[in-house]
A and B are shown apart, each in its own frame.
Chain A
Amino acid sequence: MDATQLIHPLLALALAPLMAGIVNKTKSAFAGRNGPPVLQPYRDLWRLLHKGAVYSRTTSWILRAGPIVSLAAVVTALAMLPFGGTAAPLSFAGDLIVFAYLFGLVRFLMVAAALDTGSSFEGMGASREVTFSALAEPALLLALAALARMAGSPSLSGLLAGAVANPAVSIPVLLLAAAAVGIVLLAENARIPVDDPNTHLELTMIHEVMILDTSGPDLAFAGYAALLKQWAFAALLVGVLVPWRTGVLWADVALALAAMAAVAVGIGVVESTMARLRLVRVPQLLLAAVACAALAVVLVLR
């Protein structure tokens, strides 16, 4: 194994909270506030890790397993993503499906854990999460399929290798796939216009409401997993949108990191300028993502 292959996982583990910090800083800037420090997410995680966990007597091992397995699954998924010029530590034919379904596993466990508490609020969040992801998943898979078909490679490393063979076809396809992945990024990571990460009204939340009964280190794990998941989708988006390579390793990584920062700022801008959609309108947004991805597939296939 090449040592450079570890660059991306390490960067992700180290910088994912920073990304959330940048998003928050951007939102604060739009709102005219100072906002929390960029490093605040690290402090939050640190604080939570030093607390004890409280478990309701009605819960079982599922609630405890949820955050830990989620974190493990997300880290595995991260290992499949190439980043900048660096290759992914884990790469095989069809890994894009495993990639997509590792997030499916995360979702399953978080939903199961939420249902395990027996609270009606968490059940509601779980049902919303499942409804929306049923539409987000096809969008992601279709977009990945279009890219795979275009690159002629069945693995994430191949399809994000950055070769633009025929610009006439590939640029529209890349744009469509990026649009689809972008919407999925917002939906999967509980961002506005799908979900509001800052809301404290249980009735309207999706992701936050599912971890109401999680506390202490478990909450830290769940939160860290969510941050890593956001990093993973952002990295995927960067891989699609920034296919150029200089050939110099450090320059490529720096370019990709800059792009990640840009994505974080972009998320902040979207969250500041858009209102959260009504829940009934969310499926339409996701269907638009599906439509974009399907269009990309169709363009590639002809």
Chain B
Amino acid sequence: MIVALILLPTFAAAAVLAIRSAAARRTLLVLVALGHAGLTAATFVRPAGPQLGGWLLLDPLGAVFLAILSLLFLTAALYGIGYLAREARRPTGLADEGFLATNQPEAVFTACLLMFLATMTLVTVSHNFGLLWVAVEATTLASAPLIYFHRQKRSLEATWKYLLVCSVGIAVALLGNFFLAIAVTEPDGRSIPLVLNDLLAAADQLDPTWLKATFLLFLVGYGTKMGLAPLHTWLPDAHSEAPSMVSALLSGALLNCAFLAILRILQVCSAAGLAGFAQPLLILFGLLSMSVAAVFIIRQDDFKRMLAYSSVEHMGLLALGVGLGGAATFGAMLHALNHSLTKGMLFLVAGNLLAAYRTKSVAGTGGAIRVLPVSGALWIAGILAICGSPPFGPFVSELAIIKAAFDQNATWVAVAVLSLLAVIFIGMAAAMLRMAYGAPPERLAAETRPREQACTFLPPLALAVLVLVLGVYVPPVVEDALRLAALALGGRQ
């Protein structure tokens, strides 16, 4: 079953390159997304056994991230039908620069999208650290062409930064793998295989100095990909220049995958009794990321960059939650789910706004609620949700993390988080108000504007409903899955 999850999108990617008809390609994309989601759901009903000698294994932690990925990809694929059709008619690419951009061939784009899904799935099920690394590297290579969908200077710049910064980060993580390989070498020269479960079982035999160095390198290496400050520099560029459906996947799924890679080494460190070394580092990086995000969100005029910095903020919050441990771990898992759904929805809506206004500037996007009634309303709801306002999901999970911080007497952490969240709320809400209620540009003020199409707003609407539901009631299935994941990380409750 695990192998099928990876092979399905891989074969589909090959097939897509051969298909000539655009409609057939888009149908196949959705069918694969549906199939992937179905298989993922099936793994919850009937857990899949280990594959390839334990290298591939779906444990509770991986399952949570797989489910998030699958759900988000399905939504993005559904949104993609309308998006790709619109792009084929009228590329949004160079709206800012005044002349028409060409897009990448759609077949290549779709194939890369499917490969992106395959590689991210591989990340969630890899239990061998080498394989995990290969998978994360593969996500970079598969997603770089996606960012360069609009063939223009700005997206090229974003792609270059993404490729270079993430490659360097990944290289550092590779060094971490080697350090881990040294840490597992026993005095007689034999070594423990780099498979998660074997490492957890033999954790007390690992060399602590090298394991600490390993954790640092993993944190820096995969942290680059996860977007932890100060290694986040590629993130705002890539998220703002990529097509909106790709931004949604980058923010909602890819960052999580990198986070998962850090969690894997955290598991090993905790088992080896080094949680006291690892967790403060996570808290530090978490707070730093939130601070940097807060600084850049205030007065940000590009709404996609604003969302990107919000991703930096939430990745920081996830790292912080796991760093606190205990009940906050559960909160972090729940928050990972909430953030992915909310941010995915926001990027999809941002795509609609971008298509209508043809600018990413907050100032140029006034009156969204009148120009695009549904998307405008979703935008307001999404911003409120991502800032942690009740009754949406992120509120619950952020509350869980902050409450855990207070319970652990980490008062200053809690206060810092609360004040940063407040700053970010002010920054994002100000932008949101200007966009929703400001005066629309003259071109769009006329009553002759086209109606919104259902395929552009139904996928984000579905996500919004999910986020709202999660804010009111966490279904037992979800709660159990998250609880098991938190348990795997050593969190209580």
Q: Judge A-B direct contact (beta carbons within 8 Å).
A: no
**Which residues of A line the B interface, CB within 8 A?**
none
